[in-house]
Homo-oligomer: A and B are copies of this chain.
């Protein structure tokens, strides 16, 4: 029954946008039902509860984020290019799906039970993947900055994007990604070998 799954995704879209706009605690099932063009009881045919709706929204978002990452990284080989690809993908996701990412940033802490454990595990893996890239980049250089802080700084600058980015087309987003990865790569340390020979 493809019709059911299509309407489930539409219900999750509605929940996602309402959570993103009002935050989980202030959002009501009546808000979500209105956004989904359903009655409240009609909405419950697709979403078992408000709490599970949050879990499904978060799970769906992180799933898309993680799958996209593997696709993006498979196209680049050297550490610098891999890191640039990672930033491009991450910033791209944030700008293409701002509502989904707002929920992940803002409301993930409101998860409980199994959903909380599962989603946190996906996130942990995603972060670990990024940390590995930072380590690979640092190993090519004489980096004085701790990996822990460098990774955190990288995520910080990317995840702050929703607060100010108002770009429209995809080239705006990849421009942001390009400048951010440049700032990061240059900031983490000068390359071990300079382009011009020293002696």
Say yes or no: A145-B183 contact (C-beta < 8 A), given A153-B157, A156-B161: yes
Q: DSSP majority for the A interface?
A: helix
Complex Cα–Cα for A24 and B22 (A): 11
The answer to whether the Cβ of A23 comes within 8 Å of any Cβ in the partner chain is: yes
How many residues in A have their beta carbons less than 8 Å from beta carbons of B?
Answer: 40
Contact of A156 among B26, B149, B157 (CB under 8 A): B157
Q: Which residues of A contact B (CB under 8 A)?
A: 22-27, 106, 109-110, 144-146, 148-150, 152-161, 163-165, 176, 179-180, 182-190
**Residue from B25, B146, B156 in contact with A179 in the complex, judged by beta carbons closer than 8 Å:** B146
Determine whether the beta carbon of B152 is less than 8 Å from that of A157: yes
In the assembled complex, the CB of A21 is this many whole angstroms from the nearest CB of chain B, namely 9
Report whether B23 and A109 are in contact in the complex, using a CB–CB cutoff of 8 Å. Answer: yes
- Chain B residues contacting A183 (CB-CB under 8 Å) are 145, 149-150, 153, 184, 187-188
Q: Which of B23, B153, B160 contacts A180 (CB 8 A)?
A: B153
CB-nearest residue of chain B to A185: B187
Whether B145 lies near A152 (C-beta < 8 A) is: no
The 4 A-B residue pairs whose C-beta atoms are closest, nearest first, are A25-B25, A187-B187, A156-B160, A25-B26
Complex Cα distance, B182 from A189, in Å, reads 10
